């Protein structure tokens, strides 16, 4: 993504907005100065045009911009800046403007030479949605690479947010936005593998079965002891076995119950 940096000095100096009609009205004094060959008046009219261009609040009218380029070319020619005159004549020509037939001589030759000016184009940075670029009054994704043009940043409601008169081959008054790298997502602990509750329950059932078996064994030993006709002194082994099986049954049944309760608490089946 790309973003616009600070506005041009001319734009920052705007004290009031300019409409297409108001810009068009500024052409009259400049045309009159060309007709009367009044260089001083032409310089003053051109200064007003240059100041007004960045202050346009409407997408520029292409015919008006072509006319402005033609006047800028004549002003540059009068000032001895031939290359600049060629650049602006090429821009005016691309927008349909033609040099008035009563202007001839070296000025006419410069106009004719402008037809050979390079018409290559360069890409414009991707605007921030829903904004768009207007180049010399038309929506565009590219701009001239070797001739001047009016660049406007236009909002969603077609209101002009910023504008620049970009010179031939000059750097665009925009730059890439600083990439904002989002923080990595908070990682969640992976769900535990296996079936912990199932294992606990199986262990608990096993302990319970073993405990039940031990209890049955203890009961059988006790019955054998009660039915025996031998003296008590000879039945010590049965008493010991009964005790081991009885206490073992209690321990196993308790463990089985604990494991079963743990399975329910863990809840991972």
pLDDT at 267 over 60: no
The reported pLDDT for the residue numbered 195 is: 59
Q: Do 91 and 204 belong together in one domain?
A: no
Across 262-267, average pLDDT: 56
Of the candidates 141, 176, 211, which is a domain's last residue?
176
DSSP 50-66: HHHGGGB-SPPPHHHHH
Could you list the residue range(s) of the whole structural domain that residue 205 is in?
Answer: 196-266
Q: Do 28 and 61 belong together in one domain?
A: yes
Q: Do 143 and 23 belong together in one domain?
A: yes
Q: CB-side exposure of 65: number of CA atoms within 13 Å?
A: 27
Q: Are strands 132-135 and 149-154 parallel, antiparallel or unpaired?
A: antiparallel
Instruction: Compute the distance between CA of residue 100 and CA of residue 210 in angstroms, rounded to an integer.
Output: 114
Number of domains in the chain: 2
| C-alpha pair distances (Å), 85 with each of 16, 33, 53, 167, 239 | 29, 17, 18, 12, 124
Q: Tens of pLDDT along 137-163?
A: 999 999 999 999 999 999 988 899 999
Who wins on pLDDT, 182 or 135? 135
Q: Does residue 91 belong to any structural domain of this protein? A: yes
Instruction: Compute the distance between CA of residue 54 and CA of residue 12 in angstroms, rounded to an integer.
Output: 9
Q: Do 102 and 232 belong together in one domain?
A: no
Of the candidates 176, 209, 236, which is a domain's last residue?
176
Q: Do 57 and 151 belong together in one domain?
A: yes
Instruction: Compute the distance between CA of residue 48 and CA of residue 29 in angstroms, rounded to an integer.
Output: 10
Across 132-140, average pLDDT: 96
Instruction: Compute the distance between CA of residue 135 and CA of residue 60 in angstroms, rounded to an integer.
Output: 9
Q: Do 203 and 167 belong together in one domain?
A: no
Q: Do 172 and 224 belong together in one domain?
A: no
Q: Do 206 and 115 belong together in one domain?
A: no
Tokens of 262: 């743990």
- At residue 8 the predicted structure's pLDDT band, cuts being 50, 70 and 90, is very low
Other residues' Cβ atoms within 10 Å of the Cβ of residue 189: 5
Q: Do 240 and 111 belong together in one domain?
A: no
pLDDT at 93 over 50: yes
Mean pLDDT of the chain: 79
Q: Do 103 and 31 belong together in one domain?
A: yes
- At residue 176 the predicted structure's pLDDT band, cuts being 50, 70 and 90, is very low
């Amino acid at each position: 993504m790309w973003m616009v940096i600070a506005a041009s000095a001319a734009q920052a100096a705007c004290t009031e907005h300019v409409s297409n009609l108001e810009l068009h009205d500024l052409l009259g004094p400049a045309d009159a100065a060309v007709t009367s060959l009044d260089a001083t008046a032409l310089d003053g009219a051109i200064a007003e045009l240059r100041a007004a261009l960045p202050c346009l609040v409407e997408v520029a009218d292409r015919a008006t911009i072509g006319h402005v380029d033609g006047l800028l070319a004549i002003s540059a020619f009068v000032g001895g800046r031939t290359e600049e005159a060629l650049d602006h004549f090429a821009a005016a020509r691309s927008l349909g403007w033609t040099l008035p037939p009563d202007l001839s001589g070296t000025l006419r030759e410069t106009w004719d030479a402008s037809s050979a000016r390079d018409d290559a184009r360069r890409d414009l940075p991707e605007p921030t949605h829903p904004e768009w670029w207007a180049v010399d009054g038309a929506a565009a994704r590219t701009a001239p690479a070797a001739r001047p043009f009016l660049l406007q940043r236009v909002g969603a409601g077609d209101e002009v947010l910023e504008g620049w008169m970009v010179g031939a081959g000059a750097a665009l008054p925009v730059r890439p936005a600083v990439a904002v790298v989002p923080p990595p997502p908070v990682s969640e602990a992976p769900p535990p593998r296996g079936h912990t509750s199932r294992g606990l329950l199986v262990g608990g059932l096993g302990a319970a079965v073993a405990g039940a078996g031990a209890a049955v064994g203890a009961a059988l030993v006790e019955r054998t002891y009660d039915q025996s006709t031998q003296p008590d002194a000879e039945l010590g082994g049965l008493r010991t076995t009964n005790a081991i099986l009885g206490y073992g049954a209690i321990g196993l049944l308790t463990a089985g119950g604990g494991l079963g309760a743990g399975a329910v608490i863990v809840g991972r089946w």
